[in-house]
Amino acid sequence: MLNILCFNAGSSSLSYAAFRGQGEALALTFDGGVDLSAEDVVLLRPADGPARRLDVSDTSDFPAIACRILDAVERDTGEPSVIAHRVVHGGDRTAPAVDLTEDEMAALGTLAPLAPIHQPAGLGPARAIAAARPGLRQVAVFDTAFHATLPDIARRLPLPETGATAGLRRFGFHGLSYAWAARRLRDVAPQRRRVVALHLSGGASACAIRDGRSIDTSMGATPLDGLMMGTRSGAVDPGLILALMQDRGLSTDEVADLLWHRSGLAGVSGISNDTRDLIPSGAPEAEAALALFCRSAAKGAAAMAVSLGGFDALVFTGGIGAEQPEIRDRICAELAFLGVRLDPDANARNDERVSPPDAAIEIRAFAEQEEWIMAIETSRLVGASA
**Which positions are annotated as active-site residues?**
143
How far CA 345 is from CA of 53, 242, 365, in Å, comes to 36, 47, 14
CA distance 116 to 286: 28
DSSP state of 353: B
Strands of 313-317's sheet, edge to edge? 213-217, 204-210, 194-200, 313-317, 362-365
Is the separation of the CB atoms in 289 and 263 below 8 Å? Answer: no
Strand partners, 209: 195, 214
CA distance 351 to 342: 11
For residue 154, which phi and psi values (nearest 5 degrees)? -85, -30
CA distance 364 to 328: 10
Buried (b) or exposed (e) across 32-56, using 16+ Cβ within 10 A? bbbbeeeeeebebebeeeeeeebeb
Is the separation of the CB atoms in 277 and 140 below 8 Å? Answer: no
- Single out the residue of 113, 119, 114, 105 nearest to residue 9, CA to CA: 119
Is the separation of the CB atoms in 293 and 265 below 8 Å? Answer: yes
CA 225 to chain centre: 13
CA distance 77 to 93: 33
